[in-house]
Amino acid sequence: SPCLTGRRADVPIYSLPQSIAQMLVGMKFHAGMLGCGIRKPVPQIEDLLTPSKRHVFVACVHTENPDNIGAIVRIANGFGATAVLLGPRCSDPFSRRAIRGSMGNALQIPILELGDKLKPTLEWLRSEHQAELFATVLDDRAEVLRETSTDRNCVLVFGNESIGLPPEWIDVCDRRLTIPMQNGTDSLNVSVACGIFLHHFTSASQAFGR
């Protein structure tokens, strides 16, 4: 077939009926092509911390919806975050739904699935790399995002879709940030909120040093 011209000899290609492809995908719709591969080794966070630039990390805790994880990964890569750090009870960022939601960005940005190691990693970033840890919360007493600034490395910590960031994780952070809501709206989807926070911290006034 002409579509196979120039393909790598070590990458096998199989043709199969749509009914079997749908069984493999687990849903009735598929785009006509499926792929599988071996996951890359997880990078060490130390290797990501280039001294000459300011780093912004996205950290998730108990973020269970794969569509949200995929969208967060896509947004983080789009705004130039250094990496996505996943803590306890987070959805697999390389699941079918998350990969689709990330539009392939999960294959571009470093993703560290840290589980219970997330908390000591955040504390290490603070002590060894002067990172500020920001808890994203729904709290009238928190700092308003548009009035917040920092020139340090920072980590934006997001929580669960239903209950937000658990108190024990808020206590780990240095500062609490909120996006003010109007007209009776009480909150935003976690991935939408992630985009707003990242836009603020990576805007021209707080640009990355690169």
Q: What is the pLDDT of residues 10-67, one digit of tens each?
A: 888 888 888 888 888 777 766 777 778 888 888 899 999 998 899 999 999 999 999 9
The burial of 3, by beta-carbon neighbours within 10 Å (0-12 exposed, 13-18 middle, 19 or more buried), is given as exposed
Predicted TM-score (pTM) of the model is 0.87
pLDDT of residue 4: 54
Nearest to 160 by CA among 133, 190, 138, 134: 190
Distances from the Cα of 59 to the Cα of 130, 136, 151, 160, 191, angstroms: 16, 10, 19, 12, 12
Report residues of the chain scoring pLDDT below 70.
1-7, 29-30, 204-210
Nearest 5°: CA angle at 121, between 117 and 126? 155
pLDDT of residue 55: 96
pLDDT of residue 82: 97
Nearest 5°: CA angle at 52, between 71 and 61? 30
pLDDT of residue 39: 87
Nearest 5°: CA angle at 144, between 143 and 145? 110
